[in-house]
Amino acid sequence: MGLRLYPAIDLKGGQVVRLRRGDMSQATVYSGRPGDQARTFAAQGFGWLHVVDLDGAFAGRPANAAAVESILAAAPGVPVQLGGGIRDMRTLDAWLARGVQRAILGSAALKNPDFTRAACAKHPDRVAVGIDARQGMVATEGWSEASTMTAVDLARRFEDAGAAAVIYTDIDRDGMLRGVNLEATLALARAVTLPVIASGGVASLDDLAALAAVASEGIEGVVIGRALYDGRLDAAEALALVADR
């Protein structure tokens, strides 16, 4: 199959927002009704939703549970991948039991690899590793902390663990509409056997076409955020482009 599109619903204070480079002080509010946004994406024909509890990512525990529940209820036929604040098995089990199809472990993947491996083993193909990087180096805790680990080295840790995918976000591109960091994303996809989902910077159909052209090299999908909300990217055109590949 071709490139899969994941429209993003980022949650802050129960509202749908987009950040610039992960800066919580630069949040643009797009909707106060996350369920309605999920319903809109479902009606447009998207096959997945990418949901992030931004407050949870910083707090280390779920902080927008009601908003996530409203998304699950509003689009029951569309699988949801959820990240932000999932740091222990109890939280992970609870979300998967409530209807989340795939959980994203980000900070936990770097700081608690044993838990991440156990989660992948317990829930095969339902746990993705979220790798957020700035200039190739992994950042955690809602991107507020830098590490000395490269994105490739972190991804390789979980190749044999049963992870569903790696979601790779280029922090410097996120919310900036500057285009995807194709070079870094492709380098990661070529370095590991796990499917890679690109995130950060999609601004146009050209970006999607560039990713679709190399999808066979391990790039499974792409998260789209601000370009959809600002109207720079038409949902129907985007879906048609990847369907034709």
pLDDT, one tens digit per residue, over 64-121 is 999 999 999 999 999 999 999 999 999 999 999 999 999 999 989 999 999 999 999 9
Phi, psi values for residue 172, rounded to 5°:
-70, -20
Q: Please report the pLDDT score of residue 56 as a whole number.
A: 96
Q: Please report the pLDDT score of residue 1 as a whole number.
A: 59
Look at residue 207 and tell me whether its pLDDT is greater than 90.
Answer: yes
Neighbours of 120 (CB within 10 A): 22
Interior angle at CA 168, CA 95 and CA 36, nearest 5 = 50
Look at residue 245 and tell me whether its pLDDT is greater than 80.
Answer: no
**E strand intervals along 137-190:** 137-140, 145-150, 165-170
Neighbours of 69 (CB within 10 A): 14
DSSP state of 172: T
Q: Please report the pLDDT score of residue 143 as a whole number.
A: 63
Strands 49-53 and 4-12: parallel
Look at residue 226 and tell me whether its pLDDT is greater than 90.
Answer: yes
Of the candidates 53, 55, 132, 170, the residue annotated as catalytic is 132
Give me the mean pLDDT over the 152-176 stretch: 91
Q: Please report the pLDDT score of residue 177 as a whole number.
A: 77
Mean pLDDT of the chain: 94
- Over residues 8-40, the pLDDT tens digits come to 999 999 999 998 888 888 899 999 999 999 999
- Over residues 108-150, the pLDDT tens digits come to 999 999 999 999 999 999 999 999 898 888 987 656 677 889 9
Catalytic residue list contains 93: no
Q: What domains lie within the chain, and their CATH numbers? A: 4-243 (3.20.20.70)
Q: Please report the pLDDT score of residue 144 as a whole number.
A: 67
Give the residue carrying structure tokens 């979601």.
167
* H or E stretch covering 18: strand 15-20
Look at residue 152 and tell me whether its pLDDT is greater than 80.
Answer: yes
Q: Please report the pLDDT score of residue 195 as a whole number.
A: 98
Catalytic residue list contains 132: yes
Give me the mean pLDDT over the 212-217 stretch: 96
Give the residue carrying structure tokens 């643009």.
28
**Cβ-contact 142, 58 below 8 angstroms:** yes
Q: Please report the pLDDT score of residue 21 as a whole number.
A: 81
Give me the mean pLDDT over the 47-64 stretch: 96
Look at residue 187 and tell me whether its pLDDT is greater than 70.
Answer: yes
Look at residue 162 and tell me whether its pLDDT is greater than 70.
Answer: yes
Say what the pTM is: 0.95
Give me the mean pLDDT over the 228-245 stretch: 94
